[in-house]
Structure 1
Amino acid sequence: MNKTIIKFGNWIFTYRNFLFPLLYIFLFIPSEMLFKNTELVTFIGLFLIIAGIVIRSLTIGLEYIKRGGLKRKIHAEKLVTGGIYGICRNPMYLGNLIILAGFGIYANSVLFTFIIFPAYIFIYWAIIKAEENFLTEKFGDKFIRYKNSVHPLIPDFSKFRNLFKNRKFKWRKVLFKEYNSYFLYILGLSALSLYLNRISLTYFTITIIISLSVYLLIKVIKYKNKNAWSE
């Protein structure tokens, strides 16, 4: 069973950039509502989306790990245990799951929240198992000790006070690495809001024009001064 999960996790890791956007489509499929109070789901959904983005940003700003693997396969040059990785082994996945939960609640969708979101949890669990297998083979006892002391997803808040100790938050690195994701979050949320009639077409258009302009500006700055913005 474990070998099957690891094999599935490796396969998902390879094709995740194609599969994950497909599941986003389920937000636009009509579904039973979670709550009748639209203001409530809007508030909770936005809160979770922002919380997930903050977790991702903290992760990158405090201790960046090169993402995407090598040739779309799981890979790691070194074992990173500092920053937010000292209180949670997979903070990026945690942030992603919180964002996805936020989108499901924001859409007020029973279908996404109780069927698609659990599917995401299973997918990330399989990827984590595949990554654990790779890291155990590469780093041996060093990773096993780390694995036994830090939970894969649930943060150890007792260690939170040490998160910023002797560390500088690198906001430029966050912007440099995450600007594409930020744009996609805004695009996805704006499209969903338009579909749900929570914003007008005019507001949607203005939001996309502004966010696209900022996106292109950062992209140009990144291209012209890559080293300075990646420090």
Structure 2
Amino acid sequence: MALVNAFEKEGNFLFKHRGEIPIVLFLVAIPVVYFTDTNFLSGQTKGIIIDIAVSISILGFLIRAIAIGTTPKGTSGRNTKEGQVAESLNTSGIYSMVRHPLYLGNYFMWIGIVLFTYNFAFVTIITLAFWLYYERIMFAEERFLERKFGDAYMNWANVTPAFIPCFRKYKKNVIPFSFVSVLRREYSGLLATVVGFVFIDDLRIYFTTGGYKLETTWHYALIAILLIALILRSLKHYTSVLKEEGRS
């Protein structure tokens, strides 16, 4: 098999299994938290790291929210069951600055959790692993878009960075931002991120004290986000409150 075809096949396979990434990350985090020595870090330093980690994850969520909230129905995207789907090419708004804003958002959301382990080597390793994983996915996605849209795609791709945004290239969105779209599509990602922080915090407490401490800020945040997610999921599946015309 030609290398280009192998990359595309691997990318499609990895895309379909991308939902398993959090599980792998959680499993790998267990020994990392256990063996990470944090005694050299002062309480103030740990507090700063936590603030930075949370801010990075929030940044990732905001990037995803902007992309999802300004994306019309039928634009370039994919479905795990039906394969890749795109009726039109999305090149305005955040997509005029970067070709893969959702994956960029994913990186920041998860690297914030990784930083919360206080293990900077782990941050580097996960960054490299993320790039190797998503590079294949982006390659497969772009092959599909190139075949689907031809020169229109190539003209956009040739001037738009794949992963690092170029703010000078910004073009106004073709449709306004929809907060409802974000509520409908992003509650699960936000919940998963909070679960990640809670998981790391619980691991650290357990390895340090041999027990669990349930009354923490992280657990209160988890309960709040879980309730919000359940409400939004119910509204999405059992009512028309979050439905919008012309939105995916």
Per the alignment, residue 81 of structure 1 pairs with: 91
Structure 2 CA distance for partners of 1:24 and 1:2, relative to 1, 3 Å: farther
Alignment of 1:122-133 (within 5 A): 122-133=132-143
Structure 2 CA distance for partners of 1:207 and 1:121, relative to 1, 3 Å: same
Alignment of 1:39-188 (within 5 A): 39-64=47-72, 68-69=78-79, 71=81, 73-160=83-170, 162-163=171-172, 167-188=175-196
Q: Secondary structure of the equivalent of 2:86?
A: coil
Per the alignment, residue 202 of structure 1 pairs with: 215
1:138-190: CA deviation from partner (whole Å, max 9, x where unpaired): 11111111110111111111134x446x7422101111111121122122222
Q: By how many angstroms is 1:2 displaced?
A: 3.2
Is 1:176–1:230's contact at 8 Å kept on the other side of the alignment?
A: no
In 1, the alpha carbon distance for the partners of 2:134 and 2:164 equals 14
Larger displacement relative to structure 2 (203-212 or 183-192): 203-212
Structure 2 CA distance for partners of 1:85 and 1:33, relative to 1, 3 Å: farther
Is 1:7–1:130's contact at 8 Å kept on the other side of the alignment?
A: yes
Q: Secondary structure of the equivalent of 2:205?
A: coil
Unaligned runs of 5+ in 2: 207-211
Per the alignment, residue 4 of structure 2 pairs with: 2
In 1, the alpha carbon distance for the partners of 2:86 and 2:140 equals 13
In 2, the alpha carbon distance for the partners of 1:107 and 1:123 equals 21
Count, aligned residues: 229
Structure 2 CA distance for partners of 1:141 and 1:92, relative to 1, 3 Å: same
Residue 225 of structure 1 pairs with residue 239 of structure 2: yes
Q: Normalising by the residue count of structure 1, what TM-score does the alignment of the two structures yield?
A: 0.86
1:29-68: CA deviation from partner (whole Å, max 9, x where unpaired): 2344698331232121111101101100111111255755
In 1, the alpha carbon distance for the partners of 2:184 and 2:22 equals 23
In 2, the alpha carbon distance for the partners of 1:67 and 1:131 equals 8
In 2, the alpha carbon distance for the partners of 1:73 and 1:131 equals 10
Is 2:113–2:193's contact at 8 Å kept on the other side of the alignment?
A: no
Q: By how many angstroms is 1:10 displaced?
A: 1.6
In 1, the alpha carbon distance for the partners of 2:156 and 2:123 equals 32
The structure richer in helix per residue is 1
Q: By how many angstroms is 1:125 displaced?
A: 0.9
Q: Normalising by the residue count of structure 2, what TM-score does the alignment of the two structures yield?
A: 0.81
> Which residue identity does 2:182 align to in structure 1?
V
Structure 2 CA distance for partners of 1:70 and 1:25, relative to 1, 3 Å: closer
In 1, the alpha carbon distance for the partners of 2:224 and 2:204 equals 21
Percent identity between matched residues is 27
Unaligned runs of 5+ in 1: none
